[in-house]
Structure 1
Amino acid sequence: MSCLVFSPLQTAQASDLSELGQLLYFDTNLSKNRTQSCATCHDPQAGFVDPRDNGAKKMASLGDDAQSLGDRQAPTASYAAFSPAFHQTKDGTYVGGQFWDGRAGTLADQAGGPPLNPAEMGLASKQEAIARLKENDTYVESFQALFGKDIFEDVDKAYLKMTEALQAYEQTEEFSPFDSKYDRYLRGEVKLTDQEELGRILFFSQQFTNCNQCHQLRKLPGAEKETFSNYEYHNIGVPANTALRALNGVSATLVDDGLLANPAVKDEAQQGKYKVPTLRNVAVTGPYMHNGVFQDLRTVVKFYNKYNSRSQPSQINPESKQPWGEPEVADTVSLKELEIGDALNSKRIDALVAFMKTLTDARYEHLLEN
């Protein structure tokens, strides 16, 4: 499905739920000042992340008011449809959901958040959102055709249907094409370079790296439609992003509770844990970590390597030239998973980065040059 830029003058009625969702996704009228749409922070031309600098080197998104700067980075919407609904397994593990803390159980729940968030799209209420929809004849005709003539008489129901339409669009192949070089390799259409192949072997190794502990969903390496996330929650010891907080006004000493910020979670042992992100399109969707603290993908690999390498260079952040910052939450770091594997030399670090670049959708491969 190709990207459709919404025009308020458009009169063609949406034929199905996903087509309606596509119109909604690009509609800036669903923000207070009519300047921001879902696509602003999840741009389909940029790996479904926010491509704007925002005065913060892309570390967080700027709200519709042109003043509010977030404290977490907008995660990619690529392959988000594959995250299961938020739940707790029998062994107590939290899995799935949307946002970094899983507070939205499903894609539809997530879609309903930004329009009403004062720091994002800034509408005052569901009623205001529905009023914006009713300004446009295309929406009126489409909603009534899909949901019944009386759909706008119940604001909550109409808002719910809006979020379900957005969910339907995000479930289309446009968001999850599975056409990267890695997918083409699995289908026998291309070969990996020697460096990419080394990275692939290291990534799926049960001995040499810990990548697959969290970033492998299918049981066997090479399985089709691998999303490269087990959708669990972990604290990997990411430091606070003091540079971002100097810009957005959040106290440098304030602790982001991570999963514990989810209203459904009361266990203090979940503090500082975040949902394992997909690695699909990871090479073109930086900065990295929940708070955008690292700019380069190679830095991320070196950050993981610090847990297994005791050499002095491995304890230095190559971006700041200073020792790695202390974990924002030290008590819940997933050391069991992080300390699996051997120390990596530069050749193996470069190989892992090369492999992760092969997870880039075909439409974004030109971005790898940047």
Structure 2
Amino acid sequence: MVLRAAACLICFSSPLLAEGYATPVELGEALFFETELSANGTQSCASCHDPNAGFADPRRDANGAFSRGDDGVSLGARHAPSAAYAALSPAFHRNADGAWVGGQFWDGRAADLEEQAGGPILNAIELGHKTEAEAVARLAADPDYVAAFAALYGVDIRSDARAGFAALTAALAEFEASPVFQPFDSKYDRFLRGEAELSREEELGRVLFFSQQFTNCNQCHQLRRSAMDPSEPFTDFRYHNIGVPANLAGRQENGVGADWVDNGLFDNPLVKDPAQRGKFKTPTLRNVAVTGPYMHNGVFQDLRTVIVFYNKYNSAAEAARINPETGMEWGAAPVPETLSTTELTHGPALDARRIDALVAFLETLTDSRYETLLGD
């Protein structure tokens, strides 16, 4: 059995057991680190969803907001979201109120984890395989994979590429739904279990976050009815337009024109309503302090900047018009006609102390294995 070096990361023991891949999760783990899933054999799922960086792309500079494809040149126009806690998202659907909910990717175009897992493999500017058959053929060259797919899914990947690709994405989804991706062991989780105490600043941030009066955070980032629910994903899995400005620095590298507008949810083939233009899926806030840059286009580097950005909708102060990272005005909302105005203008303006308290609380949502990344 060949031991792939990419699988031997700090946080994980090798998934490659002496007796082979005993479960779909073990097979999915091996595939998650499998560089043969890229056309030139240089990248894997873990390249853009690094398990040592909150399952996000760890690059932090403005021109590194977009993940680079396996050709070393290609760039997309969106920041790769963290894969942690992604399994909690429901399948893409419209709820009883007619709002779009769930799915995967920033625009929900993948109905579920299995569909999402196959997307990057066949994307020309990501992992770069042209067909399902091409990707499966790479795996079929490894007898261990042949045996695993036959034993776990009843599929002969040497002769049935379509079934093999379906089994491939199913195994990846099984791994991404495992506790490795959603351990619920942050300081906040330990606080809920009575195993940790929050500092005064963190507690102030918690109270502000869940407040129905003083902030707008929980308008989009709280799913459960109780603020003490241990399974809170810190997202409503819905789609909102919060007026995020274009990442002009990133566009200088990816070549996208300064006047181009990302349609967000409206680019989803199932969504025909232009009123959804410019809306993006609310991301989980779990591990948010260690998975920057932020927003769908990676335009902000610092978590505090994100909160200051939200605060501009409630503050009349001159300073609220300025992006602290650039010293310039924030920039116009690309699609102003669909802004989530009700949610954005809920609550009074926040002073610096309360902004800092919210940052401190958001840092408590960091899974224990990433707490060393928080710094001082």
- 8 Å CA contact 1:209, 1:342 repeated in 2: yes
Q: 1:331 aligns with which of 337, 349, 352?
A: 337
Equivalent AA in structure 2 for residue 159 of structure 1: F
1:71-110 residue pairs with structure 2 within 5 A? 71-110=77-116
Whether the 8 Å contact between 2:156 and 2:164 is mirrored in structure 1 is no
Normalising by structure 1, report the TM-score: 0.96
Measure, in 2, the Cα distance between the counterparts of 1:160 and 1:324: 44
Aligned with 1:207 (options 199, 210, 213): 213
Match of 1:302 in 2: 308
Alignment map for 1:25-174 (pairs within 5 Å): 25-52=32-59, 56-148=62-154, 150=156, 152-174=158-180
SS for the counterpart of 1:229 is coil
Q: Is the 8 A contact 1:16 1:146 kept in 2?
A: yes
Contact preservation (8 Å) 2:155, 2:163? no
Structure 1, unmatched stretches of 5+, are: none
Does the 8 Å CA contact 1:41/1:49 hold for their aligned counterparts?
yes
Partner of 2:257: 251
Q: 1:23 matched to which residue of 2?
A: 30
In the alignment, which of 1, 12, 32 is matched to residue 3 of structure 1?
12
For the Cα contact (< 8 Å) 1:317–1:323, is it kept in 2?
Answer: yes
Cα displacement string for residues 37-66 of structure 1 (whole angstroms, at most 9, x for unaligned residues): 00000000000011246x754311000000
Cα offset, 1:151, TM superposition: 5.0
Tell me, in whole angstroms, the C-alpha distance in 2 between the residues paired with 1:202 and 1:156. 50
How large is the RMSD of aligned CA atoms in angstroms?
A: 1.6
Q: Following the alignment from structure 1 to structure 2, what is the Cα–Cα distance between the partners of residues 211 and 43? A: 27
Q: Deviations over 1:265-322 (max 9, x none)?
A: 0000000000000000000000000000000000000000000001011111101101
Q: Please give the alpha-carbon distance, in whole angstroms, between the structure 2 residues aligned to 1:262 and 1:211.
A: 26
Q: Per-residue displacement from partner, 1:173-223 (whole Å, max 9, x unpaired)?
A: 100000000000000011000000000000000000000000001011011
Query: Of the candidates 314, 319, 323, which is equivalent to residue 325 of structure 2?
Result: 319
The code of the aligned residue for 1:302 comes to: V
Check whether the contact 1:22–1:169 (CA below 8 A) recurs between aligned residues: yes
Question: Which residue is 2:361 aligned to?
Answer: 355
- Percent identity over the alignment is 58
Distance, in Å, in 2 between the alignment partners of 1:298 and 1:120 is 30
CA distance in 2, matches of 1:47, 1:356: 14
| Residue identity matched to 1:296 | D
Moved over 6 A (4+): none
For 2:351 and 2:360, the matched residues in 1 are separated by: 14
149-158 vs 212-221, which moves further: 149-158
Aligned pair count? 367
1:346 and 1:252 map into 2 onto residues whose CA distance is 32
